[in-house]
């Protein structure tokens, strides 16, 4: 474990990005780039469960703490990912406190939660560290729920107060779509939702998180109170680098007359 939860509780500003190619190679490259955390995306990414293990192994020797976004708050989805050694789980489209509680319960063993016990898994060193892992997981595993609907905005204080939920993470595309202002991230309704999220997190001693479109938005979100901030993804890094290089070469070819 890389103390991600401790750093969140300490109020640090933590930067991260998405991994959506399902590649252990790009996971390792991004993990070594200087991010505090990275998110392996099983909701929209191209990777599958079988790719998660290889990405977690690739990230093991990097400074970046691995978080995985699952598709739902069903506890079985949490079990397999946590057993593989993820340091946290992000759960999308949480609409109310009951759903958030189910996500928190899936992170924790009984009696605090509902996670099933398996000792011969990667998270426990295949049995070598079972006792320590079982005893410390409540204090080390990070629970992140996404704020992406109009419904959850009415219950943010209750969601933030749930033990086991560490981060309220705004998904800008889904939330702005839900508010009827898709992509208008400077719209007053969206700004109000951001402020409501940050306030609820702060009152509960939790962190507010967001996915930015560009690094230039950092000051805006930080000033609003966001401390768990992501920008970019392995796919966008590859795409932008490829387009930039190809574009430059095409310009040089055209300007030199070497068609």
Residues with Cβ within 8 Å of residue 45, at least 6 apart in sequence = 18, 19, 20, 21, 22
CA distance 85 to 90: 14
In SS3 terms, 24-41 reads as: HHHHHHHHCCCCCEEEEE
Cβ proximity of 55 and 24 under 8 Å: yes
pLDDT in tens, 108-156: 999 999 999 999 999 999 999 999 999 999 999 999 999 999 999 999 9
Evaluate if residue 1 carries a pLDDT over 90.
no
Q: What is the CATH number of the domain that holds 57?
A: 3.20.20.60
Cβ proximity of 229 and 16 under 8 Å: yes
Ramachandran bin of 136, using left for φ above 0, alpha for ψ from -120 to 50, beta for the remaining angles: alpha
CA distance 129 to 122: 10
**20-24, 68-72, 218-222 — which is least confidently predicted?**
68-72
CA nearest to 94, candidates 68, 67, 65, 69: 69
Helices (H), 32-149: 49-59, 75-84, 97-107, 130-140
CA nearest to 170, candidates 238, 135, 217: 217
Tell me how many degrees the CA angle 40-106-18 measures, rounded to the nearest 5: 15
Residue span of the structural domain in which 70 resides: 4-256
| pLDDT score, position 215 | 97
Looking at the DSSP assignment, which residues form a beta bridge with residue 233? 18
| pLDDT score, position 259 | 65
Evaluate if residue 217 carries a pLDDT over 90.
yes
Give me the half-sphere count of Cα atoms (radius 13 Å) on the Cβ side of residue 130: 8
Task: Cite the active site residues.
Answer: 44
pLDDT in tens, 31-74: 999 999 999 999 999 999 899 999 999 999 999 999 999 998 88
| pLDDT score, position 196 | 98
Number of domains observed in the structure of the chain:
1
Confidence bin at 258 (pLDDT 50/70/90): low
CA distance 50 to 230: 24
- Please give the torsion angle defined by the CA atoms of residues 182, 183, 186 and 192, in that order, rounded to the nearest 10 degrees: 40
SS3 category, 34: coil
Indicate the pTM of the whole model. 0.96
């Amino acid at each position: 474990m890389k103390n991600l939860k401790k750093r969140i509780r300490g109020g640090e500003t933590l930067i991260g990005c998405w991994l959506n190619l399902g590649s252990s190679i790009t996971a390792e490259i991004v993990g070594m780039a200087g991010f505090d955390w990275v998110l392996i995306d099983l909701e929209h990414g191209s990777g599958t469960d079988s790719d998660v293990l290889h990405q977690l192994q690739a990230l093991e020797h990097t400074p970046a703490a691995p978080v995985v976004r699952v598709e739902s708050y069903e506890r079985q989805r949490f079990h397999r990912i946590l057993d593989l050694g993820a340091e946290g789980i992000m759960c999308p489209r949480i609409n109310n406190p009951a759903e958030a509680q189910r996500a928190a319960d899936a992170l924790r063993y009984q009696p605090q939660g509902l996670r099933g016990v398996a000792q011969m898994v990667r998270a426990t060193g295949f049995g070598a560290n079972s006792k320590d892992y079982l005893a410390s997981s409540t204090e080390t595993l990070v629970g992140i729920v996404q704020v992406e609907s109009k419904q959850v905005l009415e219950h943010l204080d209750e969601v933030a107060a749930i033990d086991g939920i560490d981060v309220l993470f705004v998904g800008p595309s889904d939330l702005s779509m839900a508010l009827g202002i898709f992509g208008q991230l400077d719209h007053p309704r969206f700004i109000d939702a951001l402020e409501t999220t940050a306030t609820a997190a702060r009152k509960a001693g939790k962190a507010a998180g967001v996915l930015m479109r560009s690094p230039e938005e950092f000051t805006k979100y930080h000033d609003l109170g966001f401390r768990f901030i992501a920008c970019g993804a392995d796919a966008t890094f590859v795409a932008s680098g490829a387009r930039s290089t190809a574009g430059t070469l095409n310009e040089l070819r055209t300007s030199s007359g070497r068609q």
